[in-house]
C-alpha cells in the first residue's frame, strides 16, 4: 500500500475516519455483532520479544470474553510495526481507513507513539499502550491516549533508589542509544542518582552498531560501581558481553526494554549472571502480589505453553479496559473513550484506572535478576534485596 505522509495524510485520515465513523459520535466499527480492536507493535523485529507477550495477553482476555457469548464480540487485529515509527504511522492510517477499528492496544514503543498517536487523535480512536513509557507522551494533551504502565520518571526514581541502597553505588556509568525511550529513561535514572549524590557519566551507543568498544573503554576508565543501560535487550546484550570480555565487572542494570531472555542470549549466560532489570510491569507467575496474577499466569501458560513474560499482564489489562467499555454497551469510539475516563476495576497488574492525562492511577516499579537462563522477580524496587 502506498504510504501517505504529512498534513495530507492527516487530512485523509480525518476524512476517511469521519466517513467510516459516521461523524462526531464515532463509529461502531463492526456489523452490530462485533467490533474490531487493533494491536500495534513490533511483532517480528529485533525487539519483538517484548511486544509478543502483551499481544498474547490481550488475545487471552478477548478470547475469554468472547467465550462468554456476549451480544457484541471483539475481533483483535494485529499490525506489525517492527518498531519503526514511520511504519507504525502508516499502519494506523490503514487500521482507521480499512478496518474501522474502535480502539487500539498500543503503540507498543515510545518512538512510534510519538508519531502515530497524533493520527489516532485525528481519527478520535481511543488507544491504550501496554508498554510505552516515555514521560512526554503524557504531556501532549492527547484526549484519546492512555497507558497501563508507569512512565520513565517513576521507573528512573525506583532504579536510582535501588542502586544506591542495594549496590551502594557512588559512581554509575549510564548509556543509551539516543532514541525516545532509551534516552528518556537514562536521563531520569541519571537525575535520580545525582539527587542522591552519585557521580554519573553518560555515553551514547549506536543501536545499529555491533562494536561498542568506545563506550566500553569509557566505562572501564570511569571505574563505576554500577552501569545502567537504558535501551532494548538486543543492544543491551551486545554491550554487556563486550563489557565483561574487556574486564568491566561492575553491576550491570537495565530497564524494561531489556526484560527479556534475549538479553541473556545476547550477552551469554556467564556474562549476564546477576544482571538486574527494572520494570514498571509485573511478572508474577506464583501469585505473590495477588491471586489474580496466579490465575492469569495459569491461563496464559495453558494457552501459549509458556510463562507470561514482560507486559503480558499489562496487555491483558489494556484489553480488559476495552472489554469493560463494550460490556457496558459502548461500541462507538467516542462512547468507549468517555467510558475509559471513569473505569475503575481490578486488573492483573494493577487497578485499571486513568488520570485526566491518560496515565495509570497507580502502580509500582519491580526488580528482576538474571539467574541462569531466567529473570525471576526480586520484588518491588523499594523492597528488593541483592543478597
Residue 227 Cα to chain centre, angstroms: 22
E strand residue ranges, the chain: 34-41, 73-80, 103-105, 127-129, 145-147, 171-176, 199-204, 226-229, 251-254, 276-279, 345-346, 351-352, 366-369, 377-380
Model pLDDT, residue 179: 86
- How many residues would you count in the chain? 387
Half-sphere exposure of 382 toward its Cβ, with a 13 Å CA cutoff?
7
User: What is the side-by-side order of every strand in the sheet holding 73-80?
Assistant: 73-80, 34-41, 103-105, 127-129, 145-147
d(CA 258, CA 277): 7
Considering the chain, what is the average pLDDT of its residues? 91
First to last CA, the chain: 54
Q: Kindly provide the b/e burial profile for residues 344-373, where b requires at least 16 CB atoms within 10 angstroms of the residue's own CB.
A: eeebbbbebbbeeebbbeebbbbbbbbeee
Q: What percentage of the chain exceeds 70 in pLDDT?
A: 92
Query: How many Cβ atoms from other residues are within 10 Å of residue 203's Cβ?
Result: 17
Q: What percentage of the chain exceeds 90 in pLDDT?
A: 84
Model pLDDT, residue 354: 98
The pTM of this model reads 0.83
Say yes or no to pLDDT of 4 above 60: no
Q: pLDDT category, 9, cuts 50, 70, 90?
A: very low
Render pLDDT for 310-360 as a digit per residue (tens, 0 to 9).
999 999 999 999 999 999 999 999 999 999 999 999 999 999 999 999 999
d(CA 285, CA 368): 13
Model pLDDT, residue 29: 55
Model pLDDT, residue 3: 30
Say yes or no to pLDDT of 20 above 70: no
Model pLDDT, residue 180: 81
**Secondary structure (3-state) at 212:** coil
Model pLDDT, residue 363: 84
Model pLDDT, residue 222: 98
**Element at 155 (helix H, strand E):** helix 152-166
Q: For 380, list phi and psi in degrees, rounded to 5.
A: -65, 145
d(CA 156, CA 176): 13
Q: pLDDT category, 365, cuts 50, 70, 90?
A: very high
Render pLDDT for 88-135 as a digit per residue (tens, 0 to 9).
999 999 999 999 999 999 999 999 999 999 999 999 999 999 999 999
Model pLDDT, residue 16: 36
Model pLDDT, residue 362: 83
Amino acid at each position: 500500500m502506498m504510504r501517505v505522509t504529512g498534513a495530507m495524510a492527516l487530512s485523509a485520515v480525518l476524512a476517511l475516519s469521519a466517513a467510516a465513523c459516521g461523524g462526531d459520535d464515532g463509529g461502531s466499527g463492526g456489523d452490530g455483532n462485533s467490533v474490531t480492536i487493533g494491536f500495534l507493535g513490533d511483532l517480528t523485529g529485533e525487539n519483538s520479544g517484548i511486544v509478543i507477550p502483551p499481544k498474547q495477553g490481550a488475545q487471552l482476555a478477548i478470547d475469554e470474553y468472547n467465550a462468554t457469548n456476549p451480544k457484541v464480540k471483539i475481533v483483535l487485529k494485529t499490525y506489525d510495526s517492527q518498531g519503526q515509527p514511520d511504519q507504525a504511522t502508516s499502519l494506523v492510517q490503514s487500521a482507521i481507513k480499512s478496518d474501522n477499528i474502535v480502539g487500539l492496544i498500543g503503540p507498543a514503543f515510545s518512538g512510534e507513539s510519538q508519531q502515530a498517536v497524533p493520527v489516532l487523535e485525528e481519527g478520535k480512536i481511543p488507544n491504550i499502550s501496554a508498554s510505552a513509557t516515555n514521560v512526554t507522551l503524557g504531556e501532549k494533551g492527547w484526549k484519546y491516549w492512555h497507558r497501563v504502565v508507569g512512565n520513565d520518571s517513576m521507573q528512573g526514581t525506583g532504579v536510582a533508589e535501588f542502586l544506591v541502597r542495594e549496590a551502594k553505588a557512588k559512581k554509575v556509568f549510564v548509556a543509551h542509544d539516543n532514541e525516545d525511550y532509551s534516552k528518556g529513561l537514562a536521563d531520569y535514572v541519571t537525575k535520580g542518582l545525582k539527587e542522591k549524590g552519585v557521580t554519573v557519566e553518560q555515553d551514547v551507543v549506536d543501536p545499529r552498531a555491533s562494536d561498542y568498544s568506545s563506550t566500553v573503554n569509557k566505562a572501564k576508565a570511569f571505574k563505576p560501581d554500577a552501569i545502567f543501560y537504558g535501551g532494548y535487550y538486543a543492544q543491551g546484550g551486545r554491550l554487556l558481553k563486550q563489557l565483561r570480555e574487556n574486564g568491566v565487572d561492575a553491576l550491570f542494570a537495565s530497564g524494561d526494554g531489556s526484560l527479556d531472555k534475549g538479553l541473556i542470549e545476547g550477552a551469554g549466560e556467564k556474562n549476564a549472571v546477576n544482571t538486574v532489570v527494572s520494570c514498571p510491569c509485573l511478572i508474577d507467575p506464583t501469585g505473590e502480589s495477588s491471586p489474580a496474577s496466579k490465575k492469569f499466569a495459569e491461563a496464559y501458560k495453558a494457552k501459549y505453553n509458556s510463562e507470561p513474560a514482560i507486559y503480558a499482564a499489562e496487555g491483558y489489562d489494556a484489553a480488559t479496559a476495552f472489554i469493560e467499555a463494550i460490556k457496558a454497551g459502548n461500541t462507538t469510539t467516542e462512547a468507549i473513550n468517555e467510558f475509559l475516563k471513569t473505569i475503575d476495576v481490578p486488573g492483573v497488574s494493577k487497578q485499571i484506572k486513568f488520570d485526566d492525562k491518560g496515565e495509570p492511577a497507580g502502580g509500582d516499579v519491580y526488580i528482576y535478576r538474571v539467574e541462569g537462563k531466567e529473570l525471576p522477580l526480586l520484588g518491588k524496587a523499594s523492597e528488593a534485596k541483592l543478597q
